[in-house]
Chain A
Amino acid sequence: MPSFGTLKADTLTHSTAGSLATNFVVHGSAKGFVSFKGTSTVTVHDSQNVSSVTDIDTGRYRPNFTNSMSNDTYSPAGGCFDSGETGSGGHFISLYTDGGSTMATGSLSVSTREHVGGGRNDPTQVNITINGDLA
């Protein structure tokens, strides 16, 4: 049976490298990530704090969170990997407006676009990280 001990500390101090306030750790840690295949039938490879990924249409996806974020001003970041399967020569991730709101506390709408031309397309792999405060 695992234990859940609580260590309360406001500062972490290294023997030589200096000190760090623990609120840097709490507020600076990622609050979720997801890695999924965007081509063919979408499949989630790995994740934390994600309940599902909605495939909205070509180059549009919506990860849904298990532990909602506290507000809709969190900071997502991401990137795409393209094996060349789609022949588009690389993608980038952008947020897109879905029903008037780009970001909700329980989900995030993203689109993947080609570097050349900017059209939406499906990359081989999509990676997204979420930073911010949890509800």
Chain B
Amino acid sequence: MTVTPEFQGTHLWDRLCWAKENLDGVQSEYRVVYEDKVDECAKVMVPDPNWMACALQGGILPPVWVYWELAKDEAQPDFKKHTRGYLLHDTEPVGPMTEEEAIEYLIQKDVPQSVWQSWDEGNRPKMVICRKEQLPATREWRNAWRISDELAA
């Protein structure tokens, strides 16, 4: 079993390079389907296999709140460049996750907060976690995909 080095304080890029050299990618069968704008079709978030390997291994990725802090900085009107990038590198990395926990982390990182904070409010769900084979096999009418109303029942 590959042991993760003590990475706190190591630049995140260097950790990702270590992971690339030492871990096999893990293709997740999970997909996250969400709708964030009423006039747009459903979006599908696909986990990256190298990232998933890092998540399952543990000790590599920063806690997800670090990304929220950086997003707050970037949302400032006078934002020019990140001045708190050290949060990515100096914050204690999170431990190993299950695949389901990794998907939950990824939702909170890469899906808009407006979606995952209130995904089940309203008349129908705004977000669904499904398996790859549950998506349409072809991309016919891809730009009209919606989360099925049947899920709200």
A residues engaging B (CB < 8 A)?
A: 1-2, 4, 31, 34, 36, 39-44, 46-58, 64, 66-68, 70-72, 104-107, 122, 133-135
Q: Decide yes or no whether B101 CB sits under 8 A from chain A.
A: no
Report yes or no: B110 in contact with A54, Cβ–Cβ below 8 A.
yes
Report yes or no: A57 in contact with B145, Cβ–Cβ below 8 A.
yes
Report yes or no: A67 in contact with B48, Cβ–Cβ below 8 A.
no
- B14 nearest CB across to chain A (Å): 7
Report yes or no: B85 in contact with A68, Cβ–Cβ below 8 A.
yes
- B37 nearest CB across to chain A (Å): 8
Q: Decide yes or no whether B94 CB sits under 8 A from chain A.
A: no
Give the contacts of B71-98 with A (CB-CB under 8 A).
71, 74, 80-82, 85, 88
Q: How far is the CA of A67 from the CA of B20 in the complex (A)?
A: 14
What are the residues of chain B within 8 A of A58 when measuring CB–CB? 139, 142-143
Categorize the interface residue count of chain B. Answer: 35 or more
Q: How far is the CA of A39 from the CA of B22 in the complex (A)?
A: 30
B residues engaging A (CB < 8 A)?
A: 3, 5, 10-14, 16-18, 20, 22, 25, 27, 31, 40-41, 43-51, 54, 61, 67, 70-71, 74, 80-82, 85, 88, 106, 109-110, 132, 135, 137-139, 142-143, 145
Report yes or no: B51 in contact with A51, Cβ–Cβ below 8 A.
yes
What are the residues of chain A within 8 A of B22 when measuring CB–CB? 2
Q: How far is the CA of A64 from the CA of B27 in the complex (A)?
A: 16
Report yes or no: B110 in contact with A50, Cβ–Cβ below 8 A.
no
What are the residues of chain A within 8 A of B18 when measuring CB–CB? 2
Q: A49-B16, A52-B110, A64-B109 are in contact. Are A105 and B143 (CB under 8 A)?
A: no
- A85 nearest CB across to chain B (Å): 10
Ordered by A's residue number, 24 sampled pairs between the chains whose C-beta atoms are within 8 Å are A1-B3, A1-B5, A2-B5, A40-B138, A41-B44, A46-B25, A48-B17, A49-B16, A50-B51, A52-B106, A53-B48, A54-B43, A54-B45, A56-B40, A57-B145, A58-B143, A64-B109, A68-B70, A70-B82, A105-B74, A106-B70, A134-B11, A134-B13, A134-B85
Q: How far is the CA of A67 from the CA of B45 in the complex (A)?
A: 18
